[in-house]
């Protein structure tokens, strides 16, 4: 029996979502609410953050995540630039519908102060590549033939599940605190590595009559006690409306002056997306892209007063 790139991508998405639901209780509560109402948590996209600088054996920046999905049947759809935040981004879409889009951003480290650029090599230079030679070989075979045997697919799926974690050693606490003053994004990536920063649920596919749109869904989540973004992004009936929960906090291991210790830091959040209809090639379809002015707001969802 063979497994296609689409099959393996679907398996990876399931594994990523399972891990995300464990780490992000707000997403888990949303998922449970959908299930109780007979609805569906349909992922619209998954967000990843990267650093465009030398990261040991792992590819740099966007390529660190993109090279995986390039082999899983995804293709680049659009690029975005966020100058004030010193970020560039790309989103990938699957060749076969039914899987979430992948939104990958990278911080242009060369635009940060020199002392920040000097601190990063100590944290990142010894980074291993989390795929084994066998895993990399299987990924290449999949990219070429679009399928693997079930046995080979299982090996690759297990390796891919391990890839989306922090690949480098726990950073120095002092490094995190100093860099955070300049770039919260950089501090976040140092702490969480390749893990998704957020999953976005597509409200259009919830299939719950009581919550037909973003506004009613956010109202229900607030009533259930979830901390939500104060204002929604995008006007009613616009191509894209978005909101999100706040990011959860978790204890993250760092190197302190007296050895390993844990510090509380924000991790991921659940985003909610409602897509509107647009005219394209003489027909109507749901808008599939992103709007730069709205996306900027969501990079602040992992920032709090104390970090």
- pLDDT (tens digit per residue) in 102-146: 999 999 999 999 999 999 988 999 999 999 999 999 999 999 999
Say if 142 falls within a structural domain: yes
C-alpha radius of gyration, the chain, whole number: 19
Say if 304 falls within a structural domain: no
**Average pLDDT of the residues in 281-303:** 78
**Average pLDDT of the residues in 149-166:** 96
Say if 307 falls within a structural domain: no
Cβ proximity of 199 and 169 under 8 Å: no
Say if 173 falls within a structural domain: yes
What pLDDT is attached to residue 235? 84
Say if 70 falls within a structural domain: yes
Say if 305 falls within a structural domain: no
% of the chain beyond a pLDDT of 90: 84
Residue 167 CB neighbour total at 10 angstroms: 19
Residue 169 pLDDT level (bands cut at 50, 70, 90):
very high
CATH code: domain of residue 261 = 3.10.180.50
Say if 117 falls within a structural domain: yes
User: Which residue would you say has higher pLDDT here, 216 or 302?
Assistant: 216
**Average pLDDT of the residues in 159-167:** 96
- pLDDT (tens digit per residue) in 28-50: 999 999 999 999 999 999 999 99
Query: What's the domain range around 133?
Result: 2-298
Say if 184 falls within a structural domain: yes
Tell me which residue of 52, 46, 58 sits closest to 107, measured CA to CA: 52
Residue 208 CB neighbour total at 10 angstroms: 17
Q: Number of folded domains in the chain?
A: 1
| pTM attached to this predicted model | 0.95
């Amino acid at each position: 029996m063979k497994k296609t790139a689409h099959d393996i991508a679907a398996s990876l998405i399931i594994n990523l979502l399972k891990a995300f639901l464990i780490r992000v209780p707000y997403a888990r509560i949303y998922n449970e609410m959908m299930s109780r109402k007979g609805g569906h948590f349909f992922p619209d996209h998954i967000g990843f953050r990267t650093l465009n600088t030398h990261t040991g054996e792992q590819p740099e920046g966007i390529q660190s995540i993109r090279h995986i999905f390039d082999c899983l049947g995804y293709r680049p759809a659009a690029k975005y630039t966020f100058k004030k935040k010193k970020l560039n981004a790309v989103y990938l879409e699957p060749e076969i519908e039914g899987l979430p889009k992948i939104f990958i951003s990278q911080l242009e480290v060369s635009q940060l102060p020199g002392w920040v650029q000097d601190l990063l090599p100590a944290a990142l230079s010894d980074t291993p590549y989390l795929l084994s030679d066998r895993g990399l070989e299987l990924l290449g075979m999949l990219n070429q033939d679009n399928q693997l045997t079930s046995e080979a697919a299982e090996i690759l799926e297990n390796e891919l599940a391990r890839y989306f974690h922090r690949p480098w050693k726990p950073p120095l606490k002092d490094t995190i605190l100093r860099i955070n003053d300049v770039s919260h994004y950089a501090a976040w990536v140092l702490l969480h590595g390749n893990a998704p920063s957020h999953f976005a649920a597509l409200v259009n596919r919830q299939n719950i009559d009581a919550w037909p749109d973003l506004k009613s869904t956010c109202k229900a989540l607030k009533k259930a006690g979830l901390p939500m973004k104060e204002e929604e992004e995008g006007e009613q009936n616009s191509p894209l409306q978005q909101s999100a929960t706040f990011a959860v906090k978790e204890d993250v291991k760092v190197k302190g002056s007296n050895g390993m210790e844990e510090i509380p830091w924000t991790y991921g959040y659940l985003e909610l997306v409602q897509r509107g209809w647009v005219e394209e090639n003489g027909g109507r379809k749901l808008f599939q892209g992103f709007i730069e002015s709205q996306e900027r707001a969501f990079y602040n969802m992992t920032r709090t007063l104390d970090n």
